[in-house]
Amino acid sequence: MNWSANNPMLKGLYYRSFYQITLCNDFIRQSSDAKLAERGISGADAATIKRYRAEARFLRAYQYWALLDLFGRPAFVTDAEALGASLPQQATKAGLFSYIESELKAIDADLVDAKKNEYGRADKAAAWALLARIYLNAQVYTGTARNTDAATYAKRVLDAGYTLISDYTKLMRADNNVNTSEFILTINYDG
């Protein structure tokens, strides 16, 4: 196996991650509290949009984690910059780690409780699982081990009721939507 920048799967992963980050940034920008007020959106509708915004922030953090883990120092842009306003700067591993960590912690109160969101949507357990994962690899990203933090967030996921299914052959079937014990975040696909 010989991987290079010319591999179409690697290129596709890299570009798709940035496409998703771009969509998330635009949604986050368009759903800011100021924009909602400007449009006269308040009450229950504003609260629902705030939850969606937290999910978009999770998805953006997830994509940045994938880029950090696979490519090391990707370009970095947030919703603070208007689309195409300037060329993005290259992130450092430690800086991107800190950004992902701060985003996941900042949205905790706004995400739906673990196992309470509809199938395929991010909730608190998805954010905790991603925090556990970044902490598990923190020494690679930052030079400092964070194993205790990894264990803390992994325990939160387990305490939320997630367990492995004993029969592996029952995974990845058409009824995955009823598997509420093992799947934390899914990519919904119905061919």
pLDDT of residue 1 exceeding 80, the answer is no
Q: Structure tokens of 186?
A: 């899914």
68 contacts 74 by C-beta, under 8 angstroms: yes
What pLDDT is attached to residue 51? Answer: 96
58 contacts 107 by C-beta, under 8 angstroms: yes
Distance set, CA 83 to CA 31, 36, 124 (Å): 15, 19, 29
Packed helices 43-71 and 93-106: angle between N→C axes, nearest 10 degrees: 160
pTM of the model: 0.92
Encode pLDDT of 56-81 as tens digits.
999 999 999 999 999 999 999 999 98
For 122, how many CA atoms within 13 A lie in the half-sphere containing its CB?
A: 23
163 contacts 181 by C-beta, under 8 angstroms: yes
Region for residue 120 given its phi and psi (left: phi exceeds 0; alpha: psi -120 to 50; beta: otherwise): left
Q: Structure tokens of 37?
A: 């007020």
Confidence grade of residue 178 (pLDDT, cut at 50, 70, 90): confident
Separation CA 169–CA 164 (nearest Å): 12
Phi and psi at 90, nearest 5°, equal -80, 130
Separation CA 95–CA 156 (nearest Å): 25
pLDDT of residue 109 exceeding 90, the answer is yes
Pick from 151, 137, 135, 129: nearest CA to 62: 129
3-class DSSP assignment, residue 75: strand
